[in-house]
Amino acid sequence: MAAVGTVGLLFFAALLWFWQERIRPVVVAVGVGEPEVNGAVIDPSDRNAGDLYLEEHPRSRIRVVDHFNPADPTRGPSSIATLKNRGIALFVNTQASSHAVPSLPQFADGRALAINVSAVSNALSGHNDFFLRIVPDLRSEQRAIAREIGRLPGKRLLVLQDTDNRAYSNPAFRTFAAAMRSEHWRIERRELPIASFNVSRDRHLVEGDFDALYILGGRFVPIIGILCQLFHTSHPNAPIVLTPWARSPQVSGSAGPAAPHILVVSPYPSRRQDPRVDGFLHRFEQRFGYTPYAMALGTYQALELLDQALARGATSPAAIRRHLLAQPEHSTSFGPIRFDAYGDVQANYFVFSLSDDAPLAAR
């Protein structure tokens, strides 16, 4: 009888441990930018996306803390290591390519897992590690942009390449130029650090006889809108194409009369194209009083994916990775996510006017 009692106590203890593990809060670090970075307006979109997610999912085990992304790319790895040393093992990573590439070794040993929503460098692709992404790499992105520009009328294309994030813009331009070889465009590339663009000093960079402009920028700095305005002044009928990373209300607000001529190519549809996107942005605006940049959609999805894994009993980085890579498809609020064996994804791209992202009341 004593043996039976001991077995029962052990079974009860194991059951209690299992139940406690299933309800124990899990800390997730969500990337946020510094308040002021080289003239950029960095808002708390990603952290607020996390706050909104938890408000809308009150039974979630996730507890969000901030992961501050330093302006200096060389400090990216140490900012992650600091949180790992505090015992934080799960990250919704919002690092750009310039920061994510040197940080990749932080996710090689299985002590931490990241779902990145913003780094598309192909140097991050095809690694058997714990760094997953829900945005396609730049090869898919730039080929989609090349296809769209190839459909436009004209022959002379100005490409303004941002030099502030060369880990993204250099391979992106190479991929774009290769994809455009069969098209009818003649490309002139001009390089500039977009965040420090000075209108009086650098105005000549948008001048010349061109039929279209492509701003190859990896950041959402508002000065991109000013560049669009300057180009539009002397090229009033020419289309302007932006990367997904310039999709933000700050860029739209500074574009002025150029906005209707600006096309965005993005893995997320505009709020006019998809009521799910519009609904999320409307709820966000009602809750926080501003419109987030597009990365907030990915942050919300990443938290959904982590929550789904936790609900199925996966708690360690290894178990969560197995869950995410084993399932052929994961449902999220903005459509399915399909990881390959390395935690990379492919996606369809949507093309729309920057004006289509404005709140319905503002249209």
pLDDT tens digits along 234-275: 999 999 999 999 888 888 889 999 999 999 999 999 999 999
271 located within any domain: no
253 with 154, same domain: the answer is yes
40 located within any domain: yes
Q: DSSP labels for 120-145?
A: --GGGTT--SSEEESS--HHHHHHHH
Tell which wins on pLDDT, 208 or 218.
Answer: 208
210 with 287, same domain: the answer is no
257 with 284, same domain: the answer is no
In tens, the pLDDT along 6-51 reads: 655 544 444 434 444 444 588 898 987 654 344 444 568 999 999 9
Q: What is the structure's pLDDT at 64?
A: 94
Mean pLDDT of the chain: 89
Q: What is the structure's pLDDT at 200?
A: 86
CATH number for the domain spanning 179: value is 3.40.50.2300
147 with 127, same domain: the answer is no
Closest CA to 66 of 36, 92, 102, 40: 92
- How many whole angstroms from its chain centre is CA 2? 59
What is residue 329's DSSP assignment? -
242 with 335, same domain: the answer is no
Closest CA to 302 of 168, 118, 86: 118
Reduced DSSP (H G I as helix, E B as strand, rest coil) percent helix, strand, coil of the chain, to 5? 50, 20, 35
Q: What is the structure's pLDDT at 115?
A: 97
255 located within any domain: yes
Percent of the chain with pLDDT over 70: 89
82 with 10, same domain: the answer is yes
Q: Determine which of 53-57, 96-100, 157-161 has the lowest per-residue pLDDT on average.
A: 96-100
144 with 129, same domain: the answer is no
Contact status, residue 101 vs residue 78, Cβ threshold 8 Å: no
Its sign, for the CA torsion 180, 185, 189, 193, is negative
85 with 147, same domain: the answer is no
Q: What is the structure's pLDDT at 8?
A: 57
Instruction: List phi, psi (to 5°) of 342.
Output: -105, 5
Q: SS3 string of 257-295?
A: HHHHHEEEEECCCCCCCCHHHHHHHHHHHHHHCCCCCCH
Domain that holds residue 167: 139-266
Q: Which residues pair with 91 in a beta bridge?
A: 29, 114
Strand 26-33 and strand 90-93: pairing? parallel
221 located within any domain: yes
Task: State which of 210, 235, 266 marks the end of a domain.
Answer: 266
Q: Which of 17-31, 46-60, 345-359 has the highest mean pLDDT?
A: 46-60
Q: Determine which of 195-199, 263-267, 280-284 has the lowest per-residue pLDDT on average.
A: 195-199
Contact status, residue 211 vs residue 237, Cβ threshold 8 Å: no
How many domains does the chain contain in total? 2
209 with 324, same domain: the answer is no
283 with 247, same domain: the answer is no
Q: Cα–Cα distance between 158 and 192 in angstroms, integer?
A: 13
Tell which wins on pLDDT, 39 or 59.
Answer: 59
Residue 1: pLDDT band with limits 50, 70, 90: low
Q: What is the structure's pLDDT at 183?
A: 77
363 located within any domain: no
Q: Cα–Cα distance between 300 and 186 in angstroms, integer?
A: 40
Instruction: List phi, psi (to 5°) of 193.
Output: -80, 100
Q: Cα–Cα distance between 76 and 98 in angstroms, integer?
A: 9
167 with 256, same domain: the answer is yes
**Tokens standing for residue 274:** 């998809």
Q: Cα–Cα distance between 295 and 224 in angstroms, integer?
A: 17
Q: What is the structure's pLDDT at 24?
A: 55
* Mean pLDDT value of segment 265-293: 94
Q: Cα–Cα distance between 294 and 304 in angstroms, integer?
A: 16
113 with 143, same domain: the answer is no
Its sign, for the CA torsion 305, 311, 314, 317, is positive
* Mean pLDDT value of segment 173-184: 91
